[in-house]
Amino acid sequence: MLRTTAARPGPLAAGVLLVAALVAAPARAADALNYFKNYFVTGDYVAVGVGLQHTGVNGFATGTLTVDPAQIPPGAEVVAAYLYWQTISSSGAPDPSALQGAKFKGNDISKMAVLLSTSGTAPCWSSGGATGGGGSKATWSFRADVQRFFPRVRPANPNQPVQVEVTGSHTVTLPDMGGSNQLPSTLGAGLILVYRVTGYDPATNYQRPRMPLRSVVLYDGGFTMNNLTRQMQVTLQGFYEASRSSPFARMTHFVADGQANKTERVQITSTASAADNRVVAINPFNANTGFEATTFENLPLEPGAMKATVTVDPGGSGSFDCLSWSSVAMSMVVQDRDGDGILDVQESRTEWSSKPSRLASVYPSWPLTDPTGAPLPDLGAMGLDPDVQDVLVHVDYLTGADGHSHLPAKSALQAVATALHNGPPRPSLVASGLCAANAAPGQCPIAVHFDVGSNYQPPPSFRLSSCASASTWTTDCAIVPAALAKGGNAIPEALCSASGFSPSGEPCAFKGFAGVVGWKSGFRAFRDAPVNRAQGGAACSLGQTGCEPRMPRNRKDIARYALFAHALGYASPTDPSVPRKTSGIAECGGDLMVSLGLWDFQTGTAFMQGSTLLHELGHTLCLKHGGVVASGALEPNCKPNYQSVMNYLFQVRGLLTPQGVPTIDLSKQVLPPLSESALAESTGLGAATPYLPRWFAPVSASYIDTALATTPATRRCDGSRLQPGDPAFVRIDGDPRLLPAVDWNGDGQIAGTDTQDVNYDGVPGQSFTGSNDFATMDLRQVGARRAVGSRAMSYSVIDPTTGVAPVPPAPAVGGGLSLDTGFSDLGFSDLGFSDLGFSDLGFSDLGIGDLGFSDLGYGELGYGDLGPPTDEPLGPGDLNLDTAGSLGNAPNFLTAVALKGKVGGVQLAWSAPNVGVPIAYQVYRVEGASVTPTNFAARALVANVAGTVTTITDISQVLKNNRAFTYFAVATLPPPPDCTPTPAYNCVDNQQSSVSNFATVTL
Ligand SMILES: [Ca+2]
Ligand SMILES: [Ca+2]
Ligand SMILES: [Ca+2]
Ligand SMILES: [Zn+2]
Ligand SMILES: [Zn+2]
């Protein structure tokens, strides 16, 4: 008895619109349903329903909710899934039997069910369709977050992302006694899925998004329209601004008890005035005694509409239907002309004040408020602009008991802001006329706004107005004014005791470590923890004056949350009591974490902070380690023809300018394809590049690395462990003197083509596709956050109640509980232990996704986008320290300057590697303007100095006028932590780096 109503055709026919009734407006009624959630997704929702009344056998009705694959586009990711159902039971409170045994796909949902109206609503019990003798009965509406119950499908091809399977048939089993006069009696159930499809369409050269940005708003509760209550009305808000060019909405009603022979009228208005009501449908609810999911398509909203009032009443009909609602969903394309995911009307007050007055009346004052009444932040005053792509990043950080701080260095923020500001034009903005195709750096900026509280504020002379022009923009433009800031919260690290308990007494996984944060429960606990900013971020309870989440909920669709933590809560593969030294983690969405506390100086170098921040920020823009390519496949990491910090080749060492300056940047061009089987030396990468080529070659082939005894890589470039038989490879930087030629095998000759595992992933013969990050990035996912209630990557290794690991169906992903979660002391105790994200672990069933704010979760954000597995089946997290050490940490930016005067000589200066603290440097000199096998063989060791020295003067007698000399430096480093011995390196001896850039001086 499938009662899902087929989609209505149309835009509404003109004839129907003429019916728009000018009936007298009833007094403005209270909303029949409550605001539940709003989403901003590059996708939409799907709703299906099934009627169940009187179908029970042995106390239970079983039905099938069927999602046709045609209802969801290929490549969609599910971001939310809610089951609604209605059961008639005793009034006052539902009898326990109304829920007992409730199942979705065979999983118990009775304990996670959320009762939507605490007093129930009138049952449509009498045969006439109106409320009859049901005084002892009530209709109860329930909701459950069922996202976790959909199976994950791991494709056979590991280069394809994991899918969460939601299409097909889903069985629902609910209490129903079958007979027409027995309780409980379930009317039916409906399923709402919210999905997204990220990115831009390669078939249009990335000019058009695959799907536009839509808002989906969900309202729910319990409401019965009958002879006592002859109208259902609800004003839907939370979408803020419908598209001005295509203001059509979809709307679904989950409604029970409709009868074909009793009529009703559905109307909608964008102005809250009944005079503007447009008829949507006459008598659409006719499922008789069942339940239906009725979807209306192409509802005409007014251009730029900000709210929509839906009214259902009998119309002019004398006979009226008794109808019971549990949910209404609506979606529409929203107005975001610069494609940054932030609506025009949120970015600028002018967009609001210029509305037609009848539309402005629905939001009569500025600033706009979210559906809970909380004012939205004043983004215009922060410098955001509806015609410029903006990225707002709320930054919080942990601080150690010994005084170390994870507040990112100002230079790290500046480097990220500069890279994004100077990006090339995005094709979508060129197509829409917001950028010129040949825009110079800074003329088609991505304006990043770091909310770091009162840190790094510009001088008083700074004017925000200077930020609009490329010629006057400075990195000060990237700092949110302190008066508008909510970020920059310092959070003390908590210690996991030797016996494995946090200070608040919760079990923790990493004994003796502080500041370890799990992804994503622990992360979310920090983000959403209620704090009182005026009291230095002290814990408080929501509802108290001055108490709000660290990242206020009204920023959830506007700001990305960046937590600079000490370490990521994933266990080391070799010792589960120790966290991995992973640099960070992020999802294609709104959340990222940088975790460099187990790196140098407990904070990582400023360069690594910036590089990792841009890398993780890139993941929130849906960029991947191998770039985004037209086929949608996950391409390998470490591709030489992908010059981006997304690529592990460049995250550690940076992208080198011809002068050897390590730079933080994303890929700005599509380089030609590169084949590991045909590496042409004379043509190299096949195009001019802003940065030097980098690749891997056998150490035995490279005359320089053989002679200098460079330590071969101890990891494959993608972070996976070396396998028996893996040859010893080293990382090589291109010599700008040879460009465009590349000496792929490092033998000092430019000749022929080479065949080698140039990305050092253990897979020979690959072909690599170039990728332009700025063309493929998608800024519109800012509001996408994985639901903690969903089953995704962050399973723990430990069940806090039993101390044992969860069993299947939990996927065997390693992980650890967040130490710093501090459940009770963060004021979350009112939600209960399970609510705080332990449903991630698979053993809580309290409908978590309903409580938190990581609503927009989804099944898959965590792992398909993190690239192919590294050394674990699912490779959690990003580049780790061991891999970083193995990627070759040569000295940087070597300069050679001839000194004038009596003594003369050549002054040499360089900077330290970005990872690792050198023990010593060796500086070499060859005669000539370049390095060749011949002059290299005659090289002179100019100096062997301590690792603290970064400048020397060469006053050798061989330095003679009118001759050129070329210098290079190498570093000696201690063995990397967590090093795994390989045939080429024993993890005991010091490491020898590869060479710095070559610096030539002519005397
Ligand atoms: Ca925008
Ligand atoms: Ca903008
Ligand atoms: Ca390869
Ligand atoms: Zn720390
Ligand atoms: Zn990554």
What pLDDT, on a 0 to 100 scale, did the predictor assign at position 818?
Answer: 30
Nearest ligand to the C-alpha atom of residue 647: 5
Are 613 and 419 in contact, with CB atoms under 8 Å apart?
A: no
CA of 626 to the centre of ligand 3 (A): 12
Rounded CA gap, 655 and 692, in Å?
Answer: 7
Nearest ligand to the C-alpha atom of residue 379: 2
CA of 973 to the centre of ligand 2 (A): 45
What single letter denotes the amino acid at residue 674? L
Question: How many other CB atoms are there within 10 angstroms of residue 833's CB atom?
Answer: 16
Tens digits of per-residue pLDDT, 150-178?
876 665 665 555 566 788 999 999 999 99
Q: Using a CB cutoff of 5 Å, list residues around ligand 3, an ion.
A: 757, 759, 761, 763, 766
CA of 598 to the centre of ligand 4 (A): 8
CA of 342 to the centre of ligand 2 (A): 6
Nearest ligand to the C-alpha atom of residue 650: 5
CA of 438 to the centre of ligand 1 (A): 22
In 3D, which of 933, 955, 957 has the Cα closest to residue 943? 955
In 3D, which of 356, 336, 358, 355 has the Cα closest to residue 347? 336
- Within 8 A by CB and 6+ apart from 639, the residues are 626, 627, 647, 649, 674, 759, 768, 769
For the cut 70, the answer to whether the pLDDT of residue 124 exceeds it is yes
Lowest mean pLDDT among 16-25, 136-145, 729-738, 935-944: 16-25
Nearest ligand to the C-alpha atom of residue 392: 2
CA of 606 to the centre of ligand 4 (A): 15
Nearest ligand to the C-alpha atom of residue 758: 3
CA of 623 to the centre of ligand 5 (A): 9
What single letter denotes the amino acid at residue 977? P
Q: Which residue has the higher pLDDT, 881 or 65?
A: 65
For the cut 90, the answer to whether the pLDDT of residue 227 exceeds it is no
For the cut 80, the answer to whether the pLDDT of residue 734 exceeds it is yes
What pLDDT, on a 0 to 100 scale, did the predictor assign at position 101?
Answer: 95
Rounded CA gap, 614 and 609, in Å?
Answer: 9
3-state secondary structure of 40: strand
For the cut 90, the answer to whether the pLDDT of residue 400 exceeds it is yes
For the cut 70, the answer to whether the pLDDT of residue 864 exceeds it is no
In 3D, which of 670, 675, 677, 651 has the Cα closest to residue 731? 651
**From residue 967, how far is each of 241, 963, 1002 by CA, in Å?**
61, 13, 11
Are 599 and 606 in contact, with CB atoms under 8 Å apart?
A: no
CA of 615 to the centre of ligand 5 (A): 6
Tens digits of per-residue pLDDT, 439-472?
999 999 999 999 999 999 999 999 999 999 999 9
Rounded CA gap, 103 and 176, in Å?
Answer: 13
What single letter denotes the amino acid at residue 476? D
What pLDDT, on a 0 to 100 scale, did the predictor assign at position 998?
Answer: 95
CA of 352 to the centre of ligand 1 (A): 14
What pLDDT, on a 0 to 100 scale, did the predictor assign at position 878?
Answer: 64
Q: Which residue has the higher pLDDT, 504 or 250?
A: 250
For the cut 90, the answer to whether the pLDDT of residue 221 exceeds it is yes
Rounded CA gap, 422 and 412, in Å?
Answer: 16
Helix, strand, coil share (%) of the chain residues, nearest 5 = 15, 30, 55
pLDDT band, residue 7 (cuts 50/70/90): very low
Q: Which residue has the tokens 């839509």?
A: 214
CA of 23 to the centre of ligand 4 (A): 65
What pLDDT, on a 0 to 100 scale, did the predictor assign at position 395?
Answer: 98
Rounded CA gap, 793 and 514, in Å?
Answer: 22
Q: Which two tokens stand for residue 49?
A: 């329903």
Rounded CA gap, 969 and 171, in Å?
Answer: 67
Q: What would the DSSP string read from start to end of 516-558?
A: EE-TTHHHHHHHH-EEEGGGTTEE--BTBTTEEESS-GGGTTT
Question: How many other CB atoms are there within 10 angstroms of residue 951's CB atom?
Answer: 11
Query: Kind and range of the H or E element at 969?
Result: strand 964-973
**What's the CA angle centered on 916, arms 913 and 917, to 5 degrees?**
90
Q: What is the mean pLDDT of residues 592-620?
A: 92
For the cut 80, the answer to whether the pLDDT of residue 186 exceeds it is yes
CA of 669 to the centre of ligand 4 (A): 37
In 3D, which of 116, 662, 715 has the Cα closest to residue 411? 662
CA of 444 to the centre of ligand 2 (A): 12
CA of 868 to the centre of ligand 3 (A): 13
Q: What is the DSSP pairing of strand 906-911 with strand 951-954?
A: antiparallel
Rounded CA gap, 980 and 987, in Å?
Answer: 7
CA of 771 to the centre of ligand 3 (A): 17
CA of 715 to the centre of ligand 3 (A): 13
Nearest ligand to the C-alpha atom of residue 762: 3
Q: Which two tokens stand for residue 670?
A: 């599509």
pLDDT band, residue 500 (cuts 50/70/90): confident
What pLDDT, on a 0 to 100 scale, did the predictor assign at position 716?
Answer: 83
Are 148 and 843 in contact, with CB atoms under 8 Å apart?
A: no
CA of 369 to the centre of ligand 2 (A): 19
CA of 488 to the centre of ligand 1 (A): 24
Are 506 and 816 in contact, with CB atoms under 8 Å apart?
A: no
CA of 245 to the centre of ligand 1 (A): 15
CA of 400 to the centre of ligand 4 (A): 5
CA of 782 to the centre of ligand 5 (A): 17
Rounded CA gap, 793 and 154, in Å?
Answer: 13
CA of 639 to the centre of ligand 3 (A): 8
Tell me the three-class secondary structure of 745-771, residue by residue: CCCCCCCCEECCCCCCCCCCCCEECCC
Rounded CA gap, 577 and 584, in Å?
Answer: 19
Question: How many other CB atoms are there within 10 angstroms of residue 28's CB atom?
Answer: 12
Q: Hey, what's the torsion of the CAs at 797, 803, 805, 810, to 10 degrees?
A: -90
What pLDDT, on a 0 to 100 scale, did the predictor assign at position 631?
Answer: 85
Q: Which residue has the tokens 């462990």?
A: 721
pLDDT band, residue 574 (cuts 50/70/90): confident
CA of 866 to the centre of ligand 5 (A): 6
CA of 389 to the centre of ligand 2 (A): 4
Q: Which residue has the tokens 């990792």?
A: 612
Nearest ligand to the C-alpha atom of residue 595: 4
Q: Which DSSP letter does residue 997 get?
A: -
What pLDDT, on a 0 to 100 scale, did the predictor assign at position 169?
Answer: 94
Nearest ligand to the C-alpha atom of residue 339: 1
Can you say whether residue 901 is alpha, beta or left, with left for phi > 0 and alpha for psi between -120 and 50 degrees? left
CA of 999 to the centre of ligand 4 (A): 37
Q: What stretches of 406-504 adopt beta strand conformation (E)?
A: 446-451, 490-492
Q: Which two tokens stand for residue 633?
A: 């496949």
Q: What is the mean pLDDT of residues 417-426?
A: 98
Rounded CA gap, 426 and 445, in Å?
Answer: 9
**From residue 686, how far is each of 667, 683, 739 by CA, in Å?**
16, 5, 10
Query: End-to-end CA distance of the chain, in Å?
Result: 91
Rounded CA gap, 333 and 354, in Å?
Answer: 20
Q: What would the DSSP string read from start to end of 612-625?
A: HHHHHHHHHTT--T
pLDDT band, residue 111 (cuts 50/70/90): confident
What single letter denotes the amino acid at residue 922? Q
pLDDT band, residue 106 (cuts 50/70/90): very high
Whole-number mean pLDDT of the chain?
A: 83
- Within 8 A by CB and 6+ apart from 779, the residues are 339, 340, 341, 389, 391, 446, 621
CA of 337 to the centre of ligand 1 (A): 6
Q: What is the DSSP pairing of strand 232-236 with strand 308-313?
A: antiparallel
In 3D, which of 709, 719, 777, 747 has the Cα closest to residue 994? 709
Q: Please report, rounded to a whole number, the percentage of residues in the chain having pLDDT higher than 70.
A: 84
Rounded CA gap, 377 and 354, in Å?
Answer: 19
